[in-house]
Amino acid sequence: GAVVSQHPSWVICKSGTSVKIECRSLDFQATTMFWYRQFPKQSLMLMATSNEGSKATYEQGVEKDKFLINHASLTLSTLTVTSAHPEDSSFYICSANLAGEWNEQFFGPGTRLTVL
């Protein structure tokens, strides 16, 4: 099956710093990847759709200047949380699906971000 990796798996940073999270499709090419945020005991909330070679599409209420997304290749998308604050602490998960008709989304293992 298709495999998606994420790095790092967890990160602790100080308030005001920036953190970069990588999402890679290991055995397939992903023209589209998705970034989700999940707070404790809540559902996955889509933050943005990452399109290879073009600008990401952000969901309403998600600050594009705070959550920078870059999808420079068919196997890599990055999410940078800029000027992180404690309220940004969350579980960030990326996903990708195979091109074509709607089918299974393959999720990365997630990155737990803690901002002190």
Residues that bind another protein (CB under 8 A): 32, 34, 41-46, 49, 57, 91, 93, 101-105, 107-110, 112
Phi and psi at residue 106, to the nearest 5°? -105, 125
CB of 25 to another protein, least distance (A): 14
Q: Which is nearer to another protein, 29 or 103 (CB)?
A: 103
Phi and psi at residue 88, to the nearest 5°? -85, -10
Place of tokens 């298709």: 2
Q: Which is nearer to another protein, 49 or 82 (CB)?
A: 49
CB of 24 to another protein, least distance (A): 14
CB of 107 to another protein, least distance (A): 4
